[in-house]
Structure 1
Amino acid sequence: MVSQDNQMTGKIRLYISEDLSEGRNCSLIKGQHHYLRNVMRCQSGEPILVFNGRDGEWLAEISQIDKKVAEIQVRSQTRPQSFTSDIHVLFAPVKKARLNYMVQKATEMGASSLVPVMTQYTQKTRLNYERLKANMVEAAEQCNLLNVPELCEAINFEQALEKLDDATPARSLIFCDESAGPVLTKDSRDALEAIKNKPVAVLIGPEGGFSPAERKKLYARPDTLTISLGPRILRADTALVAALSLCQMTIGDWV
């Protein structure tokens, strides 16, 4: 049951991996312990909000916090679980600060899965998955989200296309092509409308774009939808925000 009790509200939100249910006791991890005790100066008995991407959002109470441990007791559900649009983001990794920005914004804008794709022109090939995941969790905590996207292991360009070909149910690929023209055409809008509420993947290229061979393979796929993101050349992190905005307002959960 969703709690209607307004006498106790938590302002701090934490993502935890454990199952959540009324009366359950959970131990917090080291970083969360440090945040509550040393940053927020929390005391036993104070309320916080917790979520895990499966069981909704819950009001919890700090039952113990000292130099060594922090534990909470789950009290009541504040929001039932909801799920985002089925949008996978396939992106070529870029430099550190912009990469952190990309995964944060993809999380905030409702992506369900993030897949690093190594293309011919990809410059960054070593990824700190722990850091990327932390950025995604922080974005979900701060933006009152109930979901944190899945972060997949990096794959190469050919593997990405193979996974799309083998996907069940079928997943259309939205290719944000800088050479597609200055405007989103009526044909593109109609094609987007045709895949509304269906699984999609959005492909964001690297600095320097896709190679001629990669572009040829993308154009050859029957379920690739090529769209324009406007008359300007966008950096990868900006293109991601523009592409997800376009998807959410035409085929996602903004409509």
Structure 2
Amino acid sequence: MIRLFVPNDLSAGAGVVPTVDQSRYLTSVMRLSVGAELLLFNGRDGEWRATLVEATKRGCLLKAEEQTRPMTLGPDLDLIVAMVKRGRVETIVEKAAELGARRVRLTITRRTNVDFVKLGRLDAIAMEAAEQTGRLDVPEVADPEKLDKILDAWDPARRLVFCDEGGDARPMIEALSGTTGPAAILIGPEGGFAPEERERLRGLAFVTPVSLGPRILRADTAAISAMTLWQAAAGDWR
């Protein structure tokens, strides 16, 4: 059944007016007609079965009927990734949504060579991935921030898993065994972290340096690998 993310409050009998693009998708692409059922979620009220009650050239109207799943959230996991080329960062956001990250935080490091990103495009990718994967929320994609600023404001209660390409850290699956609580995964830029960044990260008590193996991975591959290992060791795959 089609799933759609909407900003509206959801309750029995609530009317929902989809966006123009969503209405076009439902009626022109998926060719739903009046009476067809679909699922709605908004990140707050769980998942609801809804009915298409009106369809015109201007748009359509949906009616929420009954809740199919109560609201739940996955593990409290952030993905912090240095900005990379558009295609790769789009893949990272998509896979972060599929793999259960609650937030994606873009960062600017010493060796970051990309300084522009279309957040609206990334938000749309995250929303579409959430619709397809069955999760009940859409991961937030935050504005890019300098790495030093992120670290200066860090909450030490959240473990920061530093994917260190230096080669002398413990394997990630081993380093995270038995850990619980809020966490974040940090992925560096294509040129790697600068020596001073690596030194600072290794000196912070809330940071756990980890290795992703003997090969140097591209940022998108590293992000997917790290999130997979984290979910297996400390997330909701156990």
TM-score by length of 1: 0.89
| Structure 2 residue aligned with 1:135 | 125
Amino acid at match of 1:31: D
Counterpart for residue 19 of structure 1: 9
Residue 102 of structure 1 aligns with which residue? Answer: 92
Q: Indicate conservation of the 8 Å contact 2:112/2:189, yes or no.
A: yes
SS of aligned partner of 2:176: helix
The counterpart of 2:161, out of the listed 174, 179, 190, is 174
SS at match of 1:132: helix
Q: Give 1:181 deviation, angstroms.
A: 3.9
Cα distance, 1:194 vs structure 2: 5.2
> Which residue pairs with 2:116 in the alignment?
126
Q: Given the alignment, which residue of 194, 197, 213 partners 1:230?
A: 213
1:73 counterpart = 2:63: yes
2:201 to 218, 222, 229: 218
Q: Which residue of 2 aligns with 1:244?
A: 227
Displacement after TM superposition at 1:20 (Å):
0.8
- TM-score, normalisation: structure 2: 0.95
Distance 1:251 1:18 in 2: 33
The answer on whether the counterparts of 1:14 and 1:49 sit within 8 Å (CA) in structure 2 is: yes
Q: Give the conservation status (yes or no) of the 8 Å contact 2:169–2:209.
A: no
Q: Percent identity?
A: 41
Residue 189 of structure 2 corresponds to residue 206 of structure 1: yes
1:122 alignment partner, SS class: coil
Give yes or no for contact 2:82–2:106 (8 Å, CA) kept in 1: yes
- CA RMSD after TM alignment: 1.5
Q: Does 1:37 align with 2:27?
A: yes
> Which structure has the highest strand share of the two?
2
Label 1:115 to 1:182 Cα distance change in 2 as closer, same or farther (>3 A): closer
For structure 1, the 5+ residue unaligned runs are 1-10
Quick one: distance in 1 between partners of 2:127 and 2:177? 31
Choose from 34, 52, 56 the match for 2:46: 56
- Name which of 105, 130, 136 aligns with 1:115: 105
Partner letter of residue 41 of structure 1?
A: R
* Matched-pair contact (CA < 8 Å) for 1:15–1:137: yes
One-letter identity of the residue aligned with 1:180: G
Per the TM alignment, residue 183 of structure 1 is displaced from its structure 2 partner at its CA by 6.3
Equivalent pairs counted in the alignment come to 238
Q: Which amino acid counterpart does residue 200 of structure 1 have in structure 2? A: A
Amino acid at match of 1:76: E
Find the aligned partners of 1:99 and 1:143 in 2 and give their Cα distance: 19
